[in-house]
Structure 1
Amino acid sequence: MHKFINYGLLSFLIIICILSCKVSSVSEIKLHDHWSFKNSQDTLWNQASVPGTVHTDLLSLEKIEDPYYRLNEHGLQWIDKTDWHYQTTFHLTKKEISKEHIELDFSGLDTYSKVYLNDSLVLETDNMFRNYIVDIKHVLKTGDNILQIHFESPINKGVEKHDALGYNLPLSDNDLAKIGQVQGNKHVSPFTRKAGYHFGWDWGPRLVTSGIWKPITLRSWNHLKIEDVFIQQDSIGEKALMTALVEVDAIENSDTKAEIFVNGESIKTIDLELTQGKNNLSIPFEIENPQLWWPNGMGEQYLYDIEIRLTSNGFVDTKSHKIGLRTIELIREPDNMGTSFYFKVNGYPVFMKGANYIPQDVFLPRTKKEQYEHILSSAKAANMNMIRVWGGGIYENDEFYQLCDDMGLLVWQDFMFACSMYPGDERFLENVKQEAIDNVKRLRNHTSIALWCGNNEVLIAWESWGWKDKMTREQSKDVANTIWKAYNTIFHNMLPEVVANYDSARPYWPSSPGSDFGEKESFDKGDVHYWMVWWGKEPFEKYNTAIPRFMSEYGFQSFPEFSSVEKYTIPEDHNIYSDVMKSHQRSSIGNETIEDYMLRYYKNPKDFESFLYVSQLLQAHGIQVGIEAHRRHRDRCMGSLYWQINDCWPVASWSSIDYYGKWKALHYTAKKSFENFLISFENNKDAMDVFVVSDSLKPINATLKISLIDFDGTILKQQEEAIEVKENQSKKYISLLKNEFLAAVDSTKVLLKAELFNTENNTIITENILYLSAFKNLSLPTPKLTFSTTETTEHFIVTLKTKKLAKNVFLASGSNHNFSDNFFDMLPNTQKTVSIKKTESETLEMFTDKLKVITLVDTYDNLGISLLKQFTNRLKTAFGSR
């Protein structure tokens, strides 16, 4: 057999290969390895983790105890008054150092730092929210390069700025300077562009961090580099008309090919000329037959993969984004109730169902993708379509917003200002402007971003909490005017200008709430934070009449479940007035207010564990009243965002998911209350009105059935009505006259059950239960509750049966996973099946042995001694044990 080689063909193929090969213009290395750190006064370096914080590095070395355990937080306040140094070494070859541009990209330095490379100062920082990029080629050398970052104490720097200002800035009591042992109890948080909650909040500890909290990237490039891409949506119809706005840095003038790929397919190619330096390109393109992105519950979250590729002289650079096509508008128009405030998505008004979000840990680098997925998938599972990223935390990581894009969760995005007035000097203002530009540009390609909001509760504090008058009275009118001028500059000029210049298609709202606290006119326009329930001690029923145009904050507290509390306490702490439980409660009226409301609605629980459980029932009931009221009145109110979905440490708080990821009763209740279809009762003087609310975009024909049932299961009365449920509306369909339908019944022994059935297939769409007397007055039977357990490959299955009414059935297994349903009511002679994901190595026998099932009746103390026990505990707290 002969082998023939066509050398001409081979040469031709080699030439073609050479001509078609492209060299990536940009290369990157993450500098995460071989870091060490030390106190600035020490000589010994210790191993560090990057990204990380000083606190977590000390913790990993066992130089401090867990800051979240018992009272440990209080002994760690020295850390934020110390300067800390970090150091690493990276190696570069002669080839690597020959690149035309080499830079360091600092995604997040917390906060005051000086950066040295080979003993040369290359950067100073004073803002943890900013992205700093610095050219370092001139100080690099072949071989080992030493990178040092010196962090200055945020407290000491803050005190300097505080003292230099010459007047006092008003702020809320959330800056816990006393716990922080700050000189003169000075409140320094307004002066430092860092997460406000690090200085404390009424749900969080005082742990002021420093460190390299986001990645550091060593980036080198030749010829050209794409700095930024913004995929702008111009109009969406039969075609989506788009524009790619591309920022490019070029070494020299060059002919360049720009190519746009959509889902991997090249749809647009143009030739253009780059000039040396910065270039701003505008490349229009179209997407045929666009598929729209919809919020959760309204349709699919379709995302296009869009890539921009630039090629010049054999060098190529690319950037890609996942983009959802949708329109979003904030509609604020005069109407017969005031001025509307609602979001319209793809041309449809959307009732926003959701919660407020805070950072998931004080030590930010500890929050990984798994934690983001858990909280946001829990939001989606609870039928939410909006998350408010609150202004006292951080602009979240890209992973957070990508998950929101994927899950259909719109984001109300605050800028990072909360509950404080701020300085107005030129340096501070320029720092804030660059922070805003950095983050608007970083986040604007995310489909989920619905609105940019200037701040949290700053305007309302100035106008309605007495700050303006106090500044005028205690300092001077000139000082008050100076403070207001800074506010006006930041929130009415600078931030809206940044949004207009860099993300003009999205609305800007200067402050949340945008109306005055507690005043009637505030409910007719803008958004409202309603805190007369909790802070004002108003009953939950007040939610039925306090109906704003958009409720962006309201809430009530509860404790974590007992298995969570056990993780940060010891048995002697198990009293809500113990030092540890009070320390893990940061509201100034916290535990007393929970107890006060509990005794209004429930019988006093018999012990500590029961108190934790009933506190969750109390919270869930209160917020359910609010959600249903807002949704019944969707002709007026078009948003219900409760405070808050999550925690940043183990604590009694307003959250519906505790720090360890456990769903509280509120989260299970919100899941039901936020379903697309809701039946809701409204108790009026002479009648019990029954509403059906639909957030669906399609009408349905249905049967609405109302049953009056006693606690033994006997159906006393029933009423049915065939109805048409129209899309996107709330309507009263049945009015039950009290002197007829509810006549001659003992309200402590009956309930109303409402069911909505689909006429086409007779399947149940939704249901709801209403008790006719306060929970503490109900004559609840002891349920004959039994359960059995089985398993599948991935889940344990629990089947429960009851002969009597079982109220608020709670299953506890000690697992980190959540049951498919929990805290539910079981009517007499019914069966219910729930499941929970298996924990590794746990057998069915082990699970069954640990499983605990309780109901509300199990918390009762028939001997009536629990009030005496609580009184005794308070005496011990006040006077000490004898």
Structure 2
Amino acid sequence: MRETQLVLDNWKFKACQEKEWMEAAVPGCVHTDLLRNGIIKDPFYATNEHDLQWIDKIDWEYETQFDVAGELLQASALELVFDGLDTYADVYLNGQHVLSADNMFRTWKADVKSIVTAANNHLRIKFRSPVQEDLPKIDKLGYNLPASNDQSELGGLGAQKISIFARKAPYHYGWDWGPRFVTSGIWREARLVGWSESRIVDVHVLQDSVTAAQASLSVSVEIESEESWSGTVKISADGQVWEQEAALEQGSSIVEVKAVIEQPKLWWSRGLGEAHRYTFTAELVKEEKAVAAKSVRTGLRSVRLVRDKDEKGASFYFELNGVPVFAKGANHIPNDSFITDVTDERYRHEIAAAAESNMNMLRVWGGGIYEQSVFYELCDEYGIMVWQDFMFACSMYPGDEAFLENVRLEAIENVKRLRNHPSIVLWCGNNEIDSAWAEYDEDGGWGWKKEYTKEQRKVIWSDYEAVFHDILPEAVAAFAPGTQYWPSSPLISLTGDINQHAHPLSAEGDIHYWGVWHAVEPFENYNVKVGRFMSEYGFQSFPEYDTVMTFATEQDLALDSKVMRAHQKNGDGNRLIKEYMDIYMNQPKDFPAFLYMSQVLQAEAMKMAIEAHRRNMPYCMGTLYWQMNDCWPVASWAGMDYYGKWKAMQYYAKRSFADTMLSFDRTDDGLVNVHLVTDLLTPIKGELSLRLYDFAGALIKETSALVSMDGNHAAVVSSINEQEWLYGYEAGSVVLYAELVQNGLLTDNKTYYFAKAKDQKLTDSVISITEVEGSNGTAFTFAADALAKQVWVTAEHEGKFSDNFFDLIPGVAKTVQFTHRNEGEAAGKPTAAGKVQARSMIDFLARNETV
């Protein structure tokens, strides 16, 4: 018989110390079940987070009853399967203990054939408090291990950092953008699985060699059998069939089938071609009858991380199907503090937003989770490459035998689960730990080492190497051969000396540059501190007013209010936003204006960084800003807020990530250079025009020229002498406008200002809004009678404009379209916006007053 299953539902839960059961949702967690039953208030509202820290200190239990009928009951093998138990759990079926779990990231199974009955099976799971479970481990170890983002004080634990002991999402213990909710519960599907004779457990399509001419594959089929027998394994894809005779052993067998596809359709990242995928179906045939089958979907591509020595250091870029790809994107964190609240629609919104923002890569950061399958399926579909961290971040970890074995099994399972996804181009050991500890630089790192004796340091580093230099790379090599492994991000190279640890001017490896923000370095340093691959950098902003009002009241609208501080997890965050705003911008007229201006400030910073990185290709071949998304409504580095609303930065990123882009920079000797950057593989030819306007729209000076450039390239295509072009005009009263036109169509345009925002002489501007004829309220053209900067367009209905936070020069109109955010087929399609409003920077500035 084929494998059959019963998904287990109708769950109830309670605190172990209580008697009354309440309804539970599975998948879910204690926090969401308590909220659903009206026991707790909205965890994200005001300072409610602080009042809910009791939840992780007590034990909880879940139970359900189920019947088993017919074919499932008659199956030779019956397995209880939990795709995710969070985290310390004991499972009892009909009064018998069947398994104990201690890792949120692993699947847990138990053979229950001898226990299951036809009716009234009782399943009970006791979740032990992760706090009570792990606190004794500190005493046993004898010291705390570093865990910079573990908000132990908020959790009532003082300086006792327990997050490092649990194989559980690190961000549950708090981060500098997220709350502390240490969850427990059944967070992935629970089911009873039955099978007889044989079943296919796993299918892995190993891509031995893939070119445009031919794909040579080894399809590995893992089979479980009740007894030994001989049969045939048949693989089919795209109308082709390959067969292999197989002598199956009792228990587990692996059969490898060689397959060749001529002229395959390749999987490409967004912007370079179709993200084509094939469905491979494996069948187990006995006496011409299929006894088991399993299908997987994958894309055929060759990918490698290229780290070749050169005259400046060593390259760091991804080569896809023989093409060097400039990686454009962001770092992804979990979309919610309560993971099971994330719908497929929310995942699609994020990945579609990445694609619409002209991204081709997301980094799944190591402080969250190995994402749900739908995340990777969407990345496969949209052509978004994935840099996949293992789940370790900003901490040192224990190295006892049980912990290391737990990590080994976790790594093997997750590499196997995800290895068919063509989007995954790299596995990375951890986030920032090599550079934070800085083993080979006595004065380097985050100061962690100074807290420990020489003997303790030796043990801690040895434990680190066991995980990140042995266990994890061995899992990748064994179960996803050919996939690159990178030990830690950032890292120069695994040298075993001081040259291993990354720094902002490294000419090898990847870089996390945080001088802007944490060290209050000027935005202009983004132009200077450019590495081979910029895997993290960022600047904070607040979400928009409507989002703030989901967790605050009007009385809370002040930077130093208790509520606003609670929704700013970076200790210096509010001060830093204000400090940078004072440097670069004028004063906002009130708090809602401050929210808007914080977004513009963030957007301008990220524009400067992204474009500096892209202008420096091929020296720099990747730019992933921190961060794509939020897990709750908060002030953070995200480009989209918790509700999926695009901040100013997301629109700026969309423009700065354009496949073909113009970009300005200024040299020290007063030249303003116009750069042309393209990721497309075909040569660029077009007309570049430069026009200088005053803020009233008068054309002062103009020039144009034909420009051409090779594909997948960046170059300076024009320069002007700032002094000559500004002669007789104030720097703060003119704007330089560039356009690139190809075959009569506008490819890109950009503005350049000769003065900082605070020194620009803005005047009141009237913005006209004209509905595009025949668009049925879905498209609008905007124009202004004086320069309008960072025009923020809002609509009556829910949805998103195709562009926003743009500048309007008088005489240069802008047309944008409004699209659905809804689920289903309407998502991303034009829809009526209703009433449309447009405001610009001048509307948010204080007039002769300080806020």
**Conserved 8 A contact 2:503-2:511:** no
**Conserved 8 A contact 2:144-2:161:** no
Distance of 1:829 and 1:456 partners within structure 2: 48
Which of residues 819, 826, 844 is equivalent to 1:859?
Answer: 844
Paired residues in the alignment total 833
Equivalent residue, structure 2, for 1:555: 538
Answering whether residue 773 of structure 2 is matched by residue 799 of structure 1, we say no
Which of residues 214, 217, 229 is equivalent to 1:239?
Answer: 214
The structure that has the greater radius of gyration is: 1
Distance of 2:832 and 2:274 partners within structure 1: 40
Equivalent residue, structure 2, for 1:205: 179
Distance of 2:106 and 2:820 partners within structure 1: 42
Answering whether residue 767 of structure 2 is matched by residue 785 of structure 1, we say yes
**Conserved 8 A contact 2:505-2:529:** no
Give aligned-pair identity as a percent.
44
**Conserved 8 A contact 1:706-1:718:** yes
Distance of 1:698 and 1:166 partners within structure 2: 61
Answering whether residue 560 of structure 2 is matched by residue 583 of structure 1, we say no
SS at match of 1:175: coil
Distance of 1:656 and 1:839 partners within structure 2: 17
Residues 781-834 of structure 1 show CA distances to partners (whole Å, capped at 9, x for unaligned) of 211212245797986433323222111110223644221211111110343332
Where in structure 2 are the equivalents of 1:448-597 lying within 5 Å? 448-463=423-438, 473-515=450-492, 522-597=505-580
**Conserved 8 A contact 1:523-1:546:** no
Compute the displacement of 1:305 (Å).
Answer: 1.1
Equivalent residue, structure 2, for 1:410: 385
**Conserved 8 A contact 1:798-1:834:** yes
Equivalent residue, structure 2, for 1:763: 745
SS at match of 2:10: coil
SS at match of 1:344: strand
SS at match of 1:205: strand
Compute the displacement of 1:485 (Å).
Answer: 0.4
Closer/same/farther in 2, CA of residues 94 and 299 from structure 1, 3 Å limit: closer
Closer/same/farther in 2, CA of residues 600 and 645 from structure 1, 3 Å limit: same
Answering whether residue 311 of structure 2 is matched by residue 328 of structure 1, we say no
Equivalent residue, structure 2, for 1:339: 314
SS at match of 2:51: helix
**Conserved 8 A contact 2:270-2:382:** yes
The answer to which of 112-121 and 831-840 deviates more is 831-840
**Conserved 8 A contact 2:437-2:449:** no
Equivalent residue, structure 2, for 1:645: 628
Distance of 1:66 and 1:164 partners within structure 2: 37
Answering whether residue 42 of structure 2 is matched by residue 66 of structure 1, we say yes
- RMSD of aligned Cα (Å): 2.0
**Conserved 8 A contact 1:807-1:824:** yes
**Conserved 8 A contact 2:219-2:257:** yes
Closer/same/farther in 2, CA of residues 254 and 837 from structure 1, 3 Å limit: same
Closer/same/farther in 2, CA of residues 81 and 41 from structure 1, 3 Å limit: same
Answering whether residue 615 of structure 2 is matched by residue 614 of structure 1, we say no
One-letter code aligned to 1:678: M
Distance of 2:3 and 2:548 partners within structure 1: 50
One-letter code aligned to 1:246: V
Closer/same/farther in 2, CA of residues 520 and 460 from structure 1, 3 Å limit: closer
SS at match of 2:779: strand
Equivalent residue, structure 1, for 2:263: 289
**Conserved 8 A contact 1:661-1:816:** no
Residues 721-771 of structure 1 show CA distances to partners (whole Å, capped at 9, x for unaligned) of 21212111111122212232333321111011111111xx22211111111
Equivalent residue, structure 2, for 1:600: 583
Compute the displacement of 1:853 (Å).
Answer: 2.1
Compute the displacement of 1:623 (Å).
Answer: 0.4
Answering whether residue 192 of structure 2 is matched by residue 221 of structure 1, we say no
Answering whether residue 231 of structure 2 is matched by residue 252 of structure 1, we say no
Compute the displacement of 1:315 (Å).
Answer: 5.4
Residues 1-50 of structure 1 show CA distances to partners (whole Å, capped at 9, x for unaligned) of xxxxxxxxxxxxxxxxxxxxxxx42111211x210000001111111000
Equivalent residue, structure 2, for 1:877: none
Distance of 1:833 and 1:468 partners within structure 2: 49
Equivalent residue, structure 2, for 1:664: 647
Equivalent residue, structure 1, for 2:664: 681
SS at match of 1:141: coil
One-letter code aligned to 2:552: T
SS at match of 1:751: strand
Which stretches in structure 2 are left out of the alignment for 5+ residues? 493-498, 823-829
Where in structure 2 are the equivalents of 1:79-94 lying within 5 Å? 79-93=55-69
Which of residues 627, 630, 641 is equivalent to 2:613?
Answer: 630
Equivalent residue, structure 2, for 1:709: 693
SS at match of 1:383: coil
Answering whether residue 146 of structure 2 is matched by residue 161 of structure 1, we say no
SS at match of 1:829: coil
One-letter code aligned to 1:45: W
Residues 34-86 of structure 1 show CA distances to partners (whole Å, capped at 9, x for unaligned) of 10000001111111000000000000001000000111111000000010000
Which of residues 103, 113, 121 is equivalent to 2:79?
Answer: 103
Equivalent residue, structure 2, for 1:12: none
Distance of 1:863 and 1:568 partners within structure 2: 31
One-letter code aligned to 1:818: K
Closer/same/farther in 2, CA of residues 518 and 506 from structure 1, 3 Å limit: closer
SS at match of 1:311: strand
**Conserved 8 A contact 2:283-2:290:** no
One-letter code aligned to 2:285: T
SS at match of 1:133: strand
SS at match of 1:748: helix
Distance of 1:204 and 1:348 partners within structure 2: 38
SS at match of 2:269: coil
**Conserved 8 A contact 2:233-2:255:** no
Which of residues 267, 270, 280 is equivalent to 2:244?
Answer: 270
Answering whether residue 666 of structure 2 is matched by residue 691 of structure 1, we say no
Distance of 1:321 and 1:394 partners within structure 2: 22
Distance of 2:778 and 2:250 partners within structure 1: 64
Where in structure 2 are the equivalents of 1:128-139 lying within 5 Å? 128-139=104-115
Answering whether residue 757 of structure 2 is matched by residue 775 of structure 1, we say yes
Distance of 2:414 and 2:640 partners within structure 1: 28
**Conserved 8 A contact 1:752-1:771:** yes
Compute the displacement of 1:405 (Å).
Answer: 0.2
One-letter code aligned to 2:584: Y
Compute the displacement of 1:140 (Å).
Answer: 1.4
Compute the displacement of 1:273 (Å).
Answer: 2.0
Equivalent residue, structure 1, for 2:409: 434
Distance of 1:495 and 1:501 partners within structure 2: 10
**Conserved 8 A contact 1:517-1:529:** no
Distance of 2:270 and 2:483 partners within structure 1: 19
Compute the displacement of 1:189 (Å).
Answer: 0.2
Equivalent residue, structure 1, for 2:495: none
Residues 512-531 of structure 1 show CA distances to partners (whole Å, capped at 9, x for unaligned) of 00148997685201000000
Compute the displacement of 1:845 (Å).
Answer: 14
Compute the displacement of 1:257 (Å).
Answer: 2.1
Distance of 1:99 and 1:794 partners within structure 2: 59
SS at match of 2:473: helix
One-letter code aligned to 1:330: L
TM normalised by structure 1 equals 0.92
**Conserved 8 A contact 1:518-1:530:** no
Which stretches in structure 1 are left out of the alignment for 5+ residues? 1-23, 867-882
Closer/same/farther in 2, CA of residues 346 and 510 from structure 1, 3 Å limit: same
**Conserved 8 A contact 2:777-2:833:** no
Closer/same/farther in 2, CA of residues 793 and 149 from structure 1, 3 Å limit: farther
One-letter code aligned to 1:407: Y
Compute the displacement of 1:255 (Å).
Answer: 2.2
Answering whether residue 97 of structure 2 is matched by residue 121 of structure 1, we say yes
Answering whether residue 794 of structure 2 is matched by residue 812 of structure 1, we say yes
TM normalised by structure 2 equals 0.95
